[in-house]
Chain A
Amino acid sequence: MHIYVNGKVLDVTAATLAALLRELDYEDAAVATALNHDFVRKCDRGTTPLKEGDAVEILAPRQGG
């Protein structure tokens, strides 16, 4: 299945957002997620299914002004 992760197309096997984070080695990272521009809480990732063409954002703390 092809999905967009942070703007890049990836071929993944994950069926849920939580599984995607495991697949990409972000499982225990300090990141926040959004699916198709909507925020998905950490506690909801396991029940959030992914489908072909979805756009996932995985954001982490960064320097800011």
Chain B
Amino acid sequence: MAQDLGTDLAADFGSDPLTLYGTKFSSRLIAGTARYPSPAILSRAILAAKAEIVTVSLRRESGGGRAGERFWALIRDLGVRVLPNTAGCSSVREAVTTAQMAREVFDTSWIKLEVIGEEDSLQPDVFGLVEAASILTREGFQVFPYTTEDLVAAEKLLGAGCEVLMPWGSPIGSGRGLNNPYGLKSLRAHFPHVPLIIDAGIGAPSHAAVAMEMGFDAVLTNTAIAKAGDPVNMARAFALAVEAGRTGYRADLMQARDMAAPSTPVMGRAFSDLARA
């Protein structure tokens, strides 16, 4: 991990870029834009999170309203990169059409591809996901598939042309953190050079820190910030946690062990020559 011992890896955070489809970012925290108490708090939270990428969506406009334009203007003013999603789509056709529409409105070939297969858990339909990813990459999209920790699905998504994967931590909006650390560690180990972004289920800054310590490249969170009592300060906490987790990972964590190992030197302990009673 750390090449030069003692280099200030935290101060060096900005020179450890996250590269997604050839674009480099200094922030490893991606923020959702939904469920905030107000547009003003959303803006302040995105700034506090130091996020350079935010997720957005497309929804039906009604009655000649221009709510969509006001939101889009707010996001443009933040100067961040947008990652449109296909949230809520449950079929390949819906997801592909939504992605095509998003590309035109948001003027980006990036798409966070969601094909939901089960309503209670909002678990990705990995079969539909692979099919939709294949179609979209052929059409020139740069696909960020929201997937599970399934290794075979991951392999097929990469084969379909995805260069980034977004495995879930736990169900969307659940705040349960990393439900399957073993599976996620396996995914990280199998694809050491693929950018892996933990998406969904993150509920606390500590969850984000753990994900980063495990070597994931970034974390996407929405509800944990937006629904906090103080979203702006929670955004700050997430920024710090992601930075701490990444720096910890780069500093090379110690290996856990089953038995105690005294941290204070045993040699030279007073009374060590006396037998225990």
Q: Give the B-binding residues of A (Cβ under 8 A).
A: 6-7, 24-26, 29-34, 37-39, 41-42, 57-65
Interface string of B27-61 (1 = CB under 8 A from A): 00000111110000010000000000001111111
| Cβ B106 vs Cβ A61 within 8 A | yes
**Chain B residue nearest in CB terms to A42:** B104
3 interchain residue pairs of minimum CB distance: A60-B68, A64-B57, A32-B101
Q: Contact check, B105 vs A31: say whether CB atoms are below 8 A apart.
A: yes
Within 8 A of A (CB), among B62-101: 62, 64, 66-69, 71-72, 75, 84-85, 87, 93-94, 97-98, 100-101
* Residues from chain B with Cβ under 8 Å of A6 in the complex: 60-62
Q: How far is the CA of A65 from the CA of B59 in the complex (A)?
A: 13
* Bound complex: CA A42 to CA B101 (Å): 10
In the complex the two chains form, what is the Cα distance from A33 to B61 in whole Å? Answer: 11
Q: How large is the interface on B (under 10, 10 to 19, 20 to 34, 35 or more residues)?
A: 35 or more
Known pairs A39-B97, A63-B57; A30 contacts B72 (CB<8 A): yes
Task: Name A60's closest neighbour in chain B (CB-CB).
Answer: B68
Task: With CB as the reference atom, state the residue of chain A lying closest to B36.
Answer: A63
| A63-B56 in contact given A6-B62, A25-B64 (Cβ < 8 Å) | yes
Candidates A29, A38, A64, A65; contact of B61 at CB < 8 Å: A29
Distance (whole angstroms) from the CB of B147 to the closest CB of chain A: 16
What is the CB-to-nearest-CB distance from A29 to chain B, in angstroms, rounded to a whole number?
6
- Report the separation of the CA atoms of residues A7 and B97 in the bound assembly, to the nearest whole angstrom: 16
Query: Contact at B101–A34, with CB atoms within 8 Å?
Result: yes
Q: Which of A7, A25, A62 contacts B58 (CB 8 A)?
A: A62
User: A29-B68, A65-B172, A65-B222 given as contacts; is B104 within 8 A of A60 (CB)?
Assistant: no
Q: How far is the CA of A24 from the CA of B57 in the complex (A)?
A: 22
Question: Shortest distance in angstroms between A18's beta carbon and chain B's nearest beta carbon?
Answer: 14
- Chain B residue numbers with a CB within 8 Å of A58 are 60-61
Interface centre among B33, B60, B94 (most CB of A within 10 A): B60
| CA distance in complex: A37, B85 (Å) | 17
**Contact assessment for B105 and A30 in the assembled complex, using a CB-CB cutoff below 8 Å:** yes
- How far is A65 from B220 in the complex, measured between Cα atoms in Å? 8
Shortest C-beta distance, A42 to chain B (Å), equals: 6
Question: What is the bound-complex CA distance between A31 and B69, given in angstroms?
Answer: 9
Contacts of B62 in A (CB 8 A): 6
Verify if B197 is at the interface (C-beta below 8 Å from A): no
